[in-house]
Structures are given as C-alpha cells and as structure tokens.
Amino acid sequence: MTAVSPALRILPEILLTLTGVLVMVTEPLLSAKTSRKPLGIFALLGTLAAIAASAWQLHLPAGTAFFNTIQTDAFSVFFHLLIGGILLVTLLVSLNYFEGHSTYVGEFYALLLFSAVGMMLMTSAIELLMVFLGLEISSISTYILAGYRKRSAVSAEASIKYFLLGSFATAFFLYGVALCFGATGSTNIHSIATGVASGSSPLLLALALGMMLIGLGFKVSAAPFHVWTPDVYEGAPAPVVGFMSTAPKAAAFAVLLRITYTGFGTMSHIWIPLLWIMAVASMTIGNLGALTQRNVKRMLAYSSIAHAGYLLVAFTAFSADGLAAACFYTAAYAAMNVGAFAIISYLSGYDERRVHLQDYAGLAKRHPLASAAMAIFLLSLIGIPFTAGFFGKFYVFTTAMHSGLWILVTIGLLNSGLAAFYYLRFLSQLYMQPYDAAQDISEAPAQPAFVLGIAILVAAVLVLGIIPNRVLRLAQAGAATYFPCSGTNAAEVHTQPNLLR
Amino acid sequence: MTTNMHLWLLPLLPLAGFLWNGTLGRRLPKTLVTSVALLFSGAAFAQVLWIAAQFRSLALPHVESFATPWIAIHGFQVDFSFLLDPLTLIMLLVVTGVGFLIHLYSVGYMAHEEGYWRFFAYLNLFLFFMLTLVLAENFLLLFVGWEGVGLASYLLIGFYYNKDSAADAGKKAFIVNRIGDFGFLLAIFLLVAHFGTLSFTSIFGAIAAHPAMQGGVLTTIALLLVLGATGKSAQIPLYIWLPDAMEGPTPVSALIHAATMVTAGIYMVARTHVLFDRSPLALGVVAIIGAATAIFAATIGIVQTDIKRVLAYSTVSQLGYMFLACGVAAYSSAIFHLVTHAFFKALLFLAAGSVIHALGGEQDLRAMGGLRKKIPVTFWTMTAAVFAICGFFPFAGFFSKDAILFAVFNASVLHSLYLGKLLWGIGLVTAGLTSFYMFRLWYLTFFGSARYNEEHAEHGGHGVHESSWTMLLPLIVLGVLSLVGGWMGWPEALGGHDSFAHFLDPVFGASAAAAPVVMSSASAGMERMLAGLSMLIALLGWLLADILYHRNPKLPERMAQKCSALHALLLHKYWIDELYGAIIVRPLLAISRVVLWRGVDAGIVDGSGVALASGASGFSSIVRRMQSGNIRSYAGWLAMGAALVLIFVFYLAHCI
C-alpha cells in the first residue's frame, strides 16, 4: 500500500483556503455598488467541495501526515463534516443578511471560510502547536466577525470584549502546551500520552492539563469561563452567533476529546472530577441565568452555556459511548442552535429590530413558516422526542449512567427540566400571544437560499431525532479510533498501565 | 405464522390528518378541514375495530417491529416496535372510540372559533402521540408518546391565545409535567443500566426469571415511575396543573384531560406492573397517593363554582381511585375504572360544554339553573353520567368503583391489613363526597330558578338552545355507554361473569398470585354487602345535596359564613399553589437573579446606540467602554475561575 499524499489529508482545508483567498482577492476588484452575492455563492461552492473532500477522506486509510502533526480518521472526518455543514448553512442564511447595509461583504465570506479552516485543523491536529495554530486562525477570524455590524456600537463592543478575553484565555492554553513540553519533551499528543503513562513529573503535567482545560473551557463557554458569552452573543450579528456558538465549540470539544481521552487518558482521576464540576456549574448557571432573561439573544447565550454542560457530562463518562455521545450531541446542538439564530436573524434583520421576548408576540400569525421552524428548534432545545435534542440528551445521559455517574445524571435531568421553562416562554410568545399589528415591521420576503438553509436544519433536527442510527454509527466509528476494542469500558483499558506501574 | 395487523398504520392515520390540516388547513374551507380530521380519526377507529375482530386468532403478546434496530448503542439497542395485547386493545378502543366521538362533537362546538383548522390539527397530533404511547413495546417509545401527548396538551390548553390565563395554564401543565418526566427518565436510565434493554418483554422476562429479585433497585425504579405517573395523571404532589388546564376548549378537557391522556399514568403503572409486584413499598406508596388524592380533590370539588373546575377536581379524585386500585395490585379493576370513567367523564365534560355553549360561554354554576327543560337531551345524558360517577346500580361507575373498593378492603397495604381497611374507608367517604358535589352541580345547573342572563346567552338570535346533532350524537352514545358500559365487568358475586377482568387475565393474571398483597378470605356475601354500603353512602351524598342545593338554596351560603375558615381553605384549594410558589418558584427566580447579578453579568452598556450614531466617534467610545470596568471585571472572573481550576488540579495531583 503506497503512502497517501500528505496534501490529501488536508484537502478540505486547502479547498477552503483557496476559496477564501480568491474571494478576498476578488472583493476589491468589484465596485462598491455591486452585489456581493456571487462571492457568497462562490464561497458556498467551495464549502460544498470541502465537504465532499471530507467525506471522501473516509475512504483513506486512517493515518498521519506532515511529520505527525495531522491525523485523519473517522473522528476527524466527523468533525470536518460537521463544521463544513455549519459553514454551509451559515453561508446560506446570511447570503442576504448584509444586503443594502454593508459594503465589502466579500470579507465576511472569506473570514467565515478562514475561520472554518482553523477549526478543521484543530479537529485533525494531533500536535498541540498545530492545535494552537488552528485555534488562533479560527479565533481571530471570529473576533472580527463578531464586530461585523460595523456601524453598531454593541457589535464593536462585543468584538473587543471577545478579542481581549479570548486572547487572555488563549494565553492559558499556550502556557499549558509549554508546560506539557517541559514535562514530556514533546507536544505530540501520542508522545504526551506515553509521557503521562510513565508517571514522571505528575504535578507539572496536572498543571499543564489544568491550563489547557482553562483555555478550552473559555472557547466552549463552560462555567466558570462563560462570563463573556451573553455580551458577545448579544452584540454580534445573529448569523455569526449561530456560527460561533456551534462550530468553534465543536472544534474545541474535539480538541478536548483528543487531549483528555488520548493525551491524558491515564490521568483521568484529575480531569474527570474537574469536568464533573464544570459540567454541573455550566448546566446550573446556564439554565438559571436564562430563566429570567428577557433579551432573546442573551437567553440563548445562557442556554448555550447550559448545553456545553450537557456535553461535558458525556466527556465525564470516559467511554467509547461517551465519546460517541459527545460527537452526536455536538451535531444535534449545532443543528438546533444555528437554526434558532438563523430564524432570529431573519425576523429581526440586520438592525436587530426584535431584541426582547415580547417583540416576538404572536409572530406565528404573521410568519407561520418561520415560527414553525423556530418551534421545532425550540422543542429540540427543550428535548422533546422525535427531535435531535431529545435523542442527544438521551444518549448523553445513558452513557453517563452507564459509567455510574448517577448524581451527575440527576442534576442534568433536573436542569433540563428547568430549561423547558424559558424555551417554552419563547414558544408561548410566538404562538399564544395576540399579534400586535401596530408593531408591524415589514420584512423582506425570505430568499430561496435562506429557505433552503432552514429546510436543511429542520431536516437535520428531525432526522437526528427520528432516525438517528446513521449519524450514530458515524459517531461510533469516530469513537472507535480512540477505543479500538469497542464495547469495553475505556476506563479499564486505560487503567491497565497504572496497575503495572 | 402470525397475522400482520399493520399496527404502524394506526398512529400514522391521525399524523396524516395533522400534517394535512397543519400545513394546508389555513387556506382550506371548514368543511374540508372537518372531513379530513374526521376521516383520519374515524379510520383509526375502524382499524382498531378490525383488529378487535381478529383479536382472538392472534398469538399473544403480538409484537410488530418496524425498525430493528431503531437505535443501536454499544451494549443495548432499542427497536421501533409495537405491542398488542388485551390491555393495549382496551386502551386503543377507548382512545380511538372516545377520540372519534369527541372529534365529531368538536365540529359543532368549535364551529365559531377562529383557528378552527389549528384545533383539529392539534387534536389529530394528540391522537398520533397517544396511539404511540399505548402501542409502545419499550420504555423509550412509551416516553416518546408520553412527551408528545404533553406537547399536544400544552398546545391545546393555550388554544385561546387571547387569554393570558390560557397561555399560563399551558406553560404550567408543561412545566409540572417536566418534574414527573424527570422521574420517568431517571427510571429509564436505571433500567438501561441494570437490564441493558428497554423492551417490555425482555425486562419483564428477566424479572420473571429471577424470583428472588425483590425490592432494591426495582423499588427505586418503580418509585421513579410513580413520580412520572403522578405528573401525567395529576396525583399528589403534581396534580396542580389539571384544574388550570380547563382553560382549554371543552372538547379538549373531555378527551385529553379526562378520558385519555391523564390516564396514561395509570396505564403505565399497569403496563409495568411486573416491577411493582416485586416492590411492596412502591405499591404501598401508589395506594396511599391514590387514596389521599381521591379525598383531597373531592373536598376541593365541593366548593368550586366553575362547572369545569368541579369536573376537573372530580377527575383528579377519580384518577386517585385508579391509583388506589393499582396500589393494591388490582390492575384490572384500575383499567376497568379507567374505561368507565372515560365514558362518563367525557360525557360530563361534553354535556358541560353543551351547557356552556347554550349559555354563550357562561361557566359559573351560580349563573345557571333551571336548564332542565331548555336543553333536555343534555340534561338526560348528563343525568346518566352523574348517576354513573356516583356509582348507582346499574350504571357503569357502580361496577368499576365497587371492584376497586372491594379489592382495597381485602388488601394489605405495606404489609398491614389495617392500612388497607383505612384506605378503603377513605375511598368510601370519597364516594359520598363525589355523590354530594356531583348532585350539587346537577341541581345548580338544571334545577331551581334561572340565574343566567338571557341576553348574554343570546348569540345567533335564538337564546338558550339545544346544541346541534353533531354535538348531541356523541352525548347520546356516551350516555348509553355510561349506563351499559359497566356490564362487561358484572361481578360474579352479583351473578355476572366478570368478563372484563378475565379478558385481561393474560396480562395481569400471573400478578394476582405473585403480588405482595395478601387477599384476606373474600366471600361473595361480603362483596354484596360492601356494594350495598357504598350505594348507601352515595344516596346519602345525594340526599345532602338535595337538601342544601334544591330545597334550601340559601343554606349553603349561611354555612359557608359560619365556618368561613374551612370554606376559605377549600375555596383556595388548601393554598397549595401559593405554597409551591413560595418554596420552589420564587427561590429559583431569586437564584436566577443572583446569577445575573451585575457584578458577573454586567451586560452591554445601556444607551450605547445613541452615543454611537456616527462612525467617527466609534473608537473613543470603545475605549471609554473598556474603562467602564466591564472587561476588567470579566477578566477578573476569568482569572478567578482559572485560579480555582489550578488549585483544584494541584490538590488532586498531590493528594490522590
């Protein structure tokens, strides 16, 4: 078997970068008056190609490239497809968002593409420095995207806050990488795993792990590193929030999985309690914070903190199923959250006309289809059966229960019961309040691209909820790259070296 | 070779109705909406009848699987399969039969409502989930239906969206049920962890194979399931949503909040009786909850003045009876009462709806009276229902209620025969109370002087009037069923065959012997005596109502004044809603505000949009904002979190 060309292992990233660069180069050549839609469509095509390339990678034998910095396997492909999908839908729903408001929208598409490139790199990197590179590429693009409503003060504020606090957190991650190198002499995850298993300098490694968890905890907005989330989500343009509340999180979770499960698998006695506490804190703070929120975007921001908590529950299970559950939940969460923000972006438009819950009163009458889609996303966020959200939670909690974490499961279930309250309030606003015609805001009719994007998301939510088995198997295939002996409990496999010591 | 019953089609029929009316209904004429809704619910009923006709030739239990596996996770898998056995068949007949009648009734009742199509779409959606619930062969699918009916109920309670109280009631129902669902889900996870499967047949088979398996985790699972059941079936402590749910349209109250959905909890306990049979503790808890709820709700029902609320508390109380029956392992009696209750309580609601319709929306008992002659069909059918619920021979309620009371009389609850007798006594007193408040309602509505405002009822220009035939036909059918519906369970002590219980023997037969409730020697003579006693008590209740609300209509008011404290206690439903508000809701909201405390969640600076109207001042404004302390305090929180994490990690690395 001949070796696979290294370039093929980062084919999706190459395609996206090329598309982004072309968009960037073309942008200044167009006159200010020209619509940027063709650029958006070009970006869409590039994304489609990248998704196809990712899917094709499934047929490659799993392996590494570029001096053991990149590894493509079922796991990385799963996240590539997920990030590519999020990018695709985000492009579709934001194709008309800036129409008539902002020039140089080409940059917007390019930044989205670059940001996705960074995230994809993160998911296939097995070298911490490469992870860091990906993290920076994606973060810097997202900082700019958060402030893309250029004339809006809140948007600029969101951008600055995100940037300053984000840099602060990234520094922690980088410091963690440095400590890791100090302890094991390597920044490759597999070498680190060997170093960790050998048991030398445990304290240094523990601190390194802690530092990296802080940095990643910020990216996934897990408590206690969540404080930035509501402000940034409130200020950033709604389609961007949909993107940045899902894709970077997916990437950060993938890295977290690689670091904890592979790199520090034998130090699970340290990160399991830590993630346990972070999961409880995120779920509780997120849901309680959302409970009395009146601003829709802030409410969903707190809700995303809570969902990060549910995801951490899956991590804490530390088993092949836990890993698959985490992957599945990331996908489910992405579908429903991107959807919710897409509908908000459509209903409130570029200048955010509908900010508070009461602005959505009775909209089901005025916008029956958009409201129906929103209802499906909200029901999924609550976790009603036959939607992605239900099955995702069911899977996460089942695996956690399997690992004996019944206290965590109990807390999680109580939390998801509590969460119904605020999602339901939104739903009731849409469906069970009279429509105030005096507040009529004339929206531009939904464009075909937007409708297509929403249709994809609704279909994803329903498919993941009704016939989840296909995606489930892909997630399990991804998990199997970590736990080759599928079915056995991971903890048993990994504690083996400990016993020998 | 088993016959294919095409069970998959059954829930899909109403689903098709929902999809059709939900997407196209807005633009279609009313007649088309109606005929689609009736067609699909009627077709489901027809299929159930077809299944019933062939039922004898089936090998039981009959399982049909459609997706194997539906979900496969390492270690266990869940199939998409439906189960058909006598219990399912009975539930199917009730759900589709009563469901179809209520669809028919709604055609007339909802005729003038805005959002007609929406109503029928939701109603069909409800049927879809209810059929899924009843047909489910595993806990997961049961839960899918369970949540789904809750969703449909939420949508229908909040149907009148111009009323704030309706939206609030819908939310309340949903949230309270989430607490129950918490228990149900936890039970499901425990089942997965202990049995590695969620299939009924596998789990019950595994339990049957281990006769020594008793209590322990089974008790935990059973108690968690009970928590779920108290939510859906409106039992203490989660009953508070049902009375508020009366904000929904009356046909909804009849179908969902009386006949079908609220009985899901009883169905679930009966379906999973194998678990309960192994846990005397869980059974005892069910019995005590049931008896307590029965009498508690009955006392509240005495003083309510809204006709639908009286019926709602009556429903809670009757569900308590069914719970009580489950608690003494008399599952077939519980299901029997479920069926007869579906007949007479649906009828009571529909008749009440007919009264309300006749009076142009009036629901207050104090503003009714003397309607006997004006709406005779409603009067006579409602009378049949009142006699049925009070348990007068030979109406339906007599047979089912006495089956329950007899079983309780002979049962030992929590290993105590005395407790069994006590619960029986409570049941008996409740029967008297039931009779009292039902006849109170009957007298206040149909007898005495007319207290309603004739002009208010003057809609459409024909004053107080009898309803249309689509509304009366269901009333008559249910009226007949309220009379004869109990005869299928005519007890052997009274010269019958008790064929209802025998029909259910394949499901519950084994448990009668295995259940940890020692039946003390029960004789036919005793059964006859007890039946006579409860009839006597019911007569007493009637007599009392007759004295208070027919002969001396001024007396109740004076009595209320005399014992004003007691009256207020009942009128305010023991202040339970307020109590829950004070100990659960308010603290939660307070904590939520702490989370959003400005030190942590500073928010975006207010009034920023005004200050930054022009782009030029942008940068300076950003700098100003940075100095406002927001970012610094956020960074402070980040640093503190980081410090905590590092200390924690340090501690773990050092000490473990």
Span A354-362, average pLDDT? 86
DSSP string, A396-451: HHHHHHHTT-HHHHHHHHHHHHHHHHHHHHHHHHHHSS---GGG---PPPPPHHHH
Rounded to the nearest angstrom, the gap between the alpha carbon of residue B98 and the centroid of all alpha carbons in its chain is 15
pLDDT at position B324 is 95
Q: Is the pLDDT reported for residue B612 higher than 70?
A: no
Q: What residue ranges do the domains of chain B occupy?
A: 1-278, 359-571, 580-624, 631-656
- Residue B292 near residue B320, CB atoms below 8 Å: yes
Contact A289 B653 (CB under 8 A): no
Q: Is the pLDDT reported for residue B374 higher than 80?
A: yes
Pick B74's closest partner by Cβ from A274, A320, A413. Answer: A320
- Residue A258 near residue A189, CB atoms below 8 Å: yes
pLDDT at position A321 is 85
Q: In terms of residues, how long is chain B?
A: 656
Provide CB contacts within 8 A for B550, sequence distance 6+: B443, B447, B448
Q: Which residues pair with A63 in a beta bridge?
A: A72
Span B14-40, average pLDDT? 89
Distance CA B15, CA A66 (A): 54
Span B303-324, average pLDDT? 93
Pick B638's closest partner by Cβ from A165, A291, A402. Answer: A165
pLDDT at position A133 is 95
**Radius of gyration over alpha carbons of chain A, in Å?**
22
Distance CA B171, CA B242 (A): 12
The per-residue pLDDT of chain B, averaged, comes to 86
Q: Is the pLDDT reported for residue B340 higher than 90?
A: yes
Q: Is the pLDDT reported for residue A497 higher than 70?
A: no
Pick A398's closest partner by Cβ from B192, B641, B656. Answer: B192
Within B486-563, where are the H helices? Answer: 499-503, 505-514, 524-546, 555-562
- Residue A286 near residue A308, CB atoms below 8 Å: yes
pLDDT at position B634 is 82
Assess B72–A contact: CB distance below 8 Å, yes or no.
yes
Measure in Å the smallest separation between the Cα of B157 and chain A Cα atoms. Answer: 10
- Residue A347 near residue A377, CB atoms below 8 Å: no
Contact B618 A156 (CB under 8 A): yes
Assess B559–A contact: CB distance below 8 Å, yes or no.
no
Span B106-123, average pLDDT? 87
Pick B644's closest partner by Cβ from A224, A230, A362. Answer: A224
Pick A230's closest partner by Cβ from B193, B601, B642. Answer: B601
Assess B24–A contact: CB distance below 8 Å, yes or no.
no
Q: What residue ranges do the domains of chain A occupy?
A: 8-498
Q: Is the pLDDT reported for residue A1 higher than 50?
A: no
Span A178-192, average pLDDT? 91
Inter-chain CB pairs, A–B, below 8 Å: 219
Contact B182 A214 (CB under 8 A): no
Q: Is the pLDDT reported for residue B653 higher than 80?
A: yes
Q: Is the pLDDT reported for residue B2 higher than 90?
A: no
Distance CA B140, CA B80 (A): 9
Contact A487 B74 (CB under 8 A): yes
pLDDT tens-digit readout, A417-435: 889 889 998 998 888 888 8
**Interface mutation target, options B80, B162, B177, B649, chain A, most CBs of A under 10 Å:** B649
Assess B529–A contact: CB distance below 8 Å, yes or no.
no
Assess B162–A contact: CB distance below 8 Å, yes or no.
yes
pLDDT at position B513 is 55
Contact A289 B166 (CB under 8 A): no
- Residue B160 near residue B245, CB atoms below 8 Å: no
Q: Which residues, numbered 88 to 147 in chain B, qualify as contacts with chain A under a Cβ-Cβ cut-off of 8 Å?
A: 140, 143-144, 147
pLDDT at position B193 is 85
Measure in Å the smallest separation between the Cα of A8 and chain B Cα atoms. Answer: 32
pLDDT band at B60 (very low <50, low <70, confident <90, very high): confident
pTM (two decimals): 0.91
Assess A376–B contact: CB distance below 8 Å, yes or no.
no
Which pair of tokens denotes residue B178? 């989430």
pLDDT at position B321 is 94
Q: Which residues pair with B199 in a beta bridge?
A: B138
pLDDT tens-digit readout, A263-317: 898 888 899 999 999 999 999 989 988 888 888 999 999 999 999 999 999 989 8
Span B386-396, average pLDDT? 91
What is the ipTM, given to two decimal places? 0.88
Measure in Å the smallest separation between the Cα of A440 and chain B Cα atoms. Answer: 18
pLDDT at position A209 is 93
Pick B182's closest partner by Cβ from A288, A384, A413. Answer: A413
Assess B604–A contact: CB distance below 8 Å, yes or no.
yes
Segment among A41-50, A412-421, B356-365, B427-436 with least mean pLDDT: B356-365
DSSP string, B132-178: HHHHBSBHHHHHHHHHHHHHHHHHHHTTSTT-HHHHHHHHHHHHHHH
Contact B162 A434 (CB under 8 A): yes
Measure in Å the smallest separation between the Cα of B412 and chain A Cα atoms. Answer: 33
Q: Which residues pair with B78 in a beta bridge?
A: B71
pLDDT band at B605 (very low <50, low <70, confident <90, very high): low
**Interface mutation target, options B117, B591, B601, B608, chain A, most CBs of A under 10 Å:** B601
pLDDT at position B365 is 86
Q: Which residues of chain B neighbour A168 with C-beta distances below 8 Å?
A: 635, 638
3-class SS of residue B364: strand
pLDDT tens-digit readout, B251-287: 999 999 888 999 999 999 999 999 998 888 999 999 9
Which pair of tokens denotes residue B33? 């909406």
- Residue A339 near residue A389, CB atoms below 8 Å: no
Q: Which residues of chain A neighbour B648 with C-beta distances below 8 Å?
A: 210, 273-274, 277
Span B86-94, average pLDDT? 93
pLDDT band at B458 (very low <50, low <70, confident <90, very high): low
**Radius of gyration over alpha carbons of chain B, in Å?**
27
- Residue B555 near residue B547, CB atoms below 8 Å: yes
DSSP string, B41-55: HHHHHHHHHHHHHHG
Which pair of tokens denotes residue A307? 């969902």
Taking CA B61 as the corner, what is the angle to CA B57 and CA B62, rounded to the nearest 5 degrees?
65
Q: Which residues of chain B neighbour A363 with C-beta distances below 8 Å?
A: none
Residue with tokens 């579709």: A92
pLDDT at position B362 is 84
pLDDT at position B59 is 78
Q: Is the pLDDT reported for residue B382 higher than 50?
A: yes
Q: Comparing C-alpha atoms, which of B571, B586, B357, B387 is closest to residue B479?
A: B387
Assess A285–B contact: CB distance below 8 Å, yes or no.
yes
Q: Is the pLDDT reported for residue A195 higher than 80?
A: yes
Assess A452–B contact: CB distance below 8 Å, yes or no.
no
pLDDT at position A455 is 95
Q: Is the pLDDT reported for residue A332 higher than 80?
A: yes
Name the residue with higher pLDDT: B372 or B384: B384
pLDDT band at B608 (very low <50, low <70, confident <90, very high): very low
Q: Which residues of chain A neighbour B162 with C-beta distances below 8 Å?
A: 434
pLDDT at position B600 is 61
Assess B74–A contact: CB distance below 8 Å, yes or no.
yes
Name the residue with higher pLDDT: B572 or A392: A392
pLDDT tens-digit readout, A208-257: 999 999 999 999 999 889 888 988 998 899 999 999 999 999 999 999 99
The per-residue pLDDT of chain A, averaged, comes to 87
pLDDT band at B417 (very low <50, low <70, confident <90, very high): confident
pLDDT band at B604 (very low <50, low <70, confident <90, very high): low
**Interface mutation target, options A159, A161, A168, A299, chain B, most CBs of B under 10 Å:** A161
Pick B151's closest partner by Cβ from A158, A213, A384. Answer: A384
Q: Is the pLDDT reported for residue B40 higher than 80?
A: yes
Q: Is the pLDDT reported for residue B614 higher than 70?
A: no
pLDDT at position B412 is 84
Measure in Å the smallest separation between the Cα of A273 and chain B Cα atoms. Answer: 9
Assess A228–B contact: CB distance below 8 Å, yes or no.
yes
- Residue A435 near residue A366, CB atoms below 8 Å: yes
Contact B193 A385 (CB under 8 A): no
Distance CA B265, CA B252 (A): 18
Measure in Å the smallest separation between the Cα of A3 and chain B Cα atoms. Answer: 33
Segment among B396-410, B545-559, B634-648 with least mean pLDDT: B545-559
Q: Is the pLDDT reported for residue B326 higher than 80?
A: yes
Assess A144–B contact: CB distance below 8 Å, yes or no.
no
Return the axis-axis angle of helices A202-219 and B630-655, rounded to nearest 10°: 150
Distance CA B631, CA A162 (A): 9
Give the C-alpha distances (Å, rounded to integers) separating B582 from A339, B227, B576, B579. Answer: 37, 22, 10, 5
Contact B171 A428 (CB under 8 A): yes
3-class SS of residue A27: helix
Q: Is the pLDDT reported for residue B606 higher than 50?
A: no
pLDDT at position A354 is 85
Q: Quote the percentage of chain A above a pLDDT of 90.
A: 53
Contact A161 B631 (CB under 8 A): yes
Distance CA A256, CA A262 (A): 10
pLDDT at position B623 is 46
Assess A484–B contact: CB distance below 8 Å, yes or no.
no
